[in-house]
Amino acid sequence: MTVPEMDGEAVRERALASLTRARARTTLLTGCVEEPDLVAQHSPLMSPLVWDLAHIGNQEELWLLRAVGGREAMRPEIDSLYDAFEHPRAERPTLPLLPPDEARRYAAEVRGHALDLLESTAFRGSQLTEAGFAFGMIAQHEQQHDETMLITHQLRKGPPALTAPDPAPAPPLDGPAEVLVPGGPFTMGTSTEPWALDNERPAHRREVAPFHIDTAAVTNAAYQAFIEDGGYTDERWWAPAGWEHIRRHGIVAPLFWHRDGGQWLRRHFGVTEVVPPDEPVLHVCWYEADAYARWAGRRLPTEAEWEKAARYDPVQGRSTRYPWGDADPAPEHANLGQRHLRPAPAGSCPAGASPLGVHQLIGDVWEWTASDFLPYPGFTAFPYKEYSEVFFGSGHKVLRGGSFAVDPVACRGTFRNWDYPIRRQIFAGFRTARSGDL
């Protein structure tokens, strides 16, 4: 993997651009609704938007002003209120949270000091400051909460608060429905990406047997065929825990879908629309993805298979940063950054396809994999165990690739996301795979 070298000024510019882009998005997501919607809890699965806003500022203060800058705490009395591990989401509305105007002032004051610190920081001497890591970590953290707040907007009832142009129509996928990924070793993870998080590290050799993977993510039209064939009423396709879960909760389709006469409709950011047949299916949990794959006579790819399909270039014989190579994402490569508020149709962004011809591996929808979230060999927690280590184990499944809601700073070919297998509010879909070279 070739990572572009950056001098101190280039690091500063990248950090400033990333932080500025994140704050503009935070401002949009918290400024497009009135105060009652900011302080309300729209789902017990999510925090009030005003909690996310102040939490973003608090984390920036903790890691940039205090850890990097060595400064005294600005508001030590609020640290516990915005500690994500101290208070589960369901109870956060009961806390004495900063009201919206005060939360905005706090986040803005922290940002002002952080930008002053950025101007004076030497990007060397410690792991936190090397290549601007702490600034990159905070930009990624804010963008991750921006995605969380966008999920809250999707769960929110009422008229639409956000608008965006639809993606351009996609050229039809005229190639094969699946691609053969050759067996053999490849480099998984990274030891050189400067802003990679601890669970992406270190780079290590991984052996993968030959397998086939879908050229594109499973579409709404394909998933509807599963529904119409009785997929939700046939126990054969479901893992036991998944079958019990969908029966207990009466799940018969992806979240936000409902049938109206002979067609499926969905609620999408306050608008009811016909389910777009060519878009990747969205808002399905791991159990639903796994059941569809079984019904189709296939399976979910492992995390290692997904990463080899996304990063391995057989001509160069190496792993690249992204499916299209080492260059940072551009609009022609991937549907990222919330600019369309929806996945792009299958076949979009052909410039972002992998050398093997796999499309849309980055952006559009997070993709469930078969794998549990586990550490790589040689893993070291940094800068704190609660970022990754406490989540390792069989309770969480890995998602890869990033969704339309992800900013480029918070996704790459090595980036790892994880969640409970029952989660459906997230912007997740999937593609399938099968073993063998035939």
Confidence of residue 320 (pLDDT cuts 50, 70, 90): very high
Q: Where are the alpha helices (DSSP H) in 161-267?
A: 220-228, 240-249
* Cβ–Cβ under 8 Å, residues 87 and 81: yes
Confidence of residue 3 (pLDDT cuts 50, 70, 90): low
CA dist 119 and 13 (Å) reads 10
pLDDT at residue 410 is higher than 70: yes
For 35, the token pair is 């105060």
Provide the 8-state DSSP code for 393: E
Confidence of residue 222 (pLDDT cuts 50, 70, 90): very high
For 343, the token pair is 């996945």
Token match 């036991």: residue? 240
Q: Which of 87, 76, 19, 77 is nearest to 52 (CA)?
A: 87
* Cβ–Cβ under 8 Å, residues 281 and 219: yes
| Other beta carbons within 10 Å of 219 | 20
Token match 């909690």: residue? 51
pLDDT at residue 6 is higher than 90: no
CA dist 320 and 169 (Å) reads 28
What does the radius of gyration of the chain's CA atoms come to, in whole angstroms?
21
The string of pLDDT tens digits covering residues 284-305 is 999 999 999 999 999 999 999 9
Mean pLDDT of the chain: 96
CA dist 107 and 50 (Å) reads 11
CA dist 340 and 433 (Å) reads 28
CA dist 59 and 403 (Å) reads 24
* Cβ–Cβ under 8 Å, residues 249 and 384: no
The string of pLDDT tens digits covering residues 71-86 is 999 999 999 999 999 9
CA 242 to chain centre: 23
pLDDT of residue 7: 85
The string of pLDDT tens digits covering residues 155-195 is 999 999 999 999 999 888 888 999 999 999 999 999 999 99
pLDDT of residue 281: 98
pLDDT at residue 96 is higher than 80: yes
**Helix H or strand E encompassing 267:** strand 263-268
pLDDT of residue 1: 59
Mean pLDDT of 386-401: 97
Provide the 8-state DSSP code for 322: B
Q: Is the pTM of this model over 0.75?
A: yes
CA dist 265 and 10 (Å) reads 47
CA dist 146 and 382 (Å) reads 23
**Helix H or strand E encompassing 148:** helix 133-155
* Cβ–Cβ under 8 Å, residues 32 and 150: no
For 244, the token pair is 């019990």
- The number of helices, as runs of H, and strands, as runs of E, in the chain is 9, 14
pLDDT of residue 295: 98
CA dist 37 and 157 (Å) reads 10
**Dihedral in degrees, nearest 10, Cα atoms 367, 368, 371, 377:** 30
| Other beta carbons within 10 Å of 423 | 19
**Strand ranges in 109-228 using DSSP code E only, listed in sequence order:** 178-181, 184-188, 204-208, 211-214
Mean pLDDT of 37-62: 97
| Other beta carbons within 10 Å of 36 | 7
